[in-house]
Amino acid sequence: MKRVFNLLVVDESGSMEIIRKQALMGINETLETIRKIEKAHQDLEQRVTLITFDSTHKKLFYDNVAAADARSLGARDYCPGGATPLYDAIGMGIAKINAQATEDDNVLVTIITDGEENCSEEYNLGMIKNLIEKLKKQGWTFTFIGTDNLDVEAMATDMGIDNHLMFEENEEGTKEMFAREKKSRMRYSACVALGESMPTGEYFDKE
């Protein structure tokens, strides 16, 4: 039985309020997609770790739980406010999975933000990049999704992330982004099931 560790790191800072409803729906759609993938590929065990973060908290909703136990979030579970400790949230998530996964496991890390790092205390950019570069060599896949007010490609490149996607920070743009992420996640899982690796930087490529 192969395992896929799905790590979702989602910004919950104040500026996400304008797409709060769509972000919450998208998180839930992603969790539903992971559950569906496990049913479609029964030889692939799907594990879920979900972190939401702002400057007042880094909330670990799910810590390496089975896909079936990663239930949808309610409206009160996602309440944007505060600033953006992006590196701390990513570092926390990576540390969690690194302690749980073996070199035989598949790890898919998805980072979603509409703001730049501005208040991390434990991790800096150099530390995050070193971690990511090291884990990519072990076969981990990292994806960075950011809004159109950011230089998403530059932010991803600075962290050593090959797969990036920009979306318009409005209802339609957020919906489109999660739809594309869903297709990419399903394609990734199909590759893992077949024992194939997706080409570097092509996670979000349109089919």
The answer as to whether 107 is a domain residue is yes
Taking alpha carbons only, the member of 166, 180, 171, 173 closest to residue 18 is: 171
The answer as to whether 200 is a domain residue is no
pLDDT tens series, the chain, 207 aa: 999 999 999 999 999 999 999 999 999 999 999 999 999 999 999 999 999 999 998 999 999 999 999 999 999 999 999 999 999 999 999 999 999 999 999 999 999 999 999 999 999 999 999 999 999 999 999 999 999 999 999 999 999 999 999 999 999 999 999 999 999 999 999 999 999 988 889 999 875
The answer as to whether 33 is a domain residue is yes
Q: Beta 2-11 vs 44-54: how paired, if at all?
A: parallel
Contact 17, 165 (CB under 8 A): no
The answer as to whether 9 is a domain residue is yes
Q: Domain containing 114 — which CATH number?
A: 3.40.50.410
Taking alpha carbons only, the member of 12, 10, 5 closest to residue 27 is: 10
Residue 18: predicted pLDDT: 96
Helix, strand, or coil here: 137?
helix
Domain that includes residue 159, residue range: 2-86+99-194
Report the 10 Å Cβ neighbour count for 169: 20
Helix, strand, or coil here: 205?
coil
Q: Is 99 exposed, middle or buried (0-12, 13-18, 19+ CB in 10 A)?
A: exposed
The answer as to whether 118 is a domain residue is yes
The answer as to whether 20 is a domain residue is yes
β-pair partners for 53:
11, 58
Residue 207: predicted pLDDT: 59
What does the DSSP assignment read for 111-176? EEESS-----SS--HHHHHHHHHHHHHTT-EEEEEEETTS-HHHHHHHHT--EEEEE-SSHHHHHH
Q: Which DSSP symbol is given to 68?
A: G
Q: Give the separation between CA 81 and CA 71, rounded to whole angstroms.
A: 23
Q: Give the separation between CA 132 and CA 123, rounded to whole angstroms.
A: 13
The answer as to whether 73 is a domain residue is yes
Q: How many domains does the chain fold into? A: 1
The answer as to whether 133 is a domain residue is yes
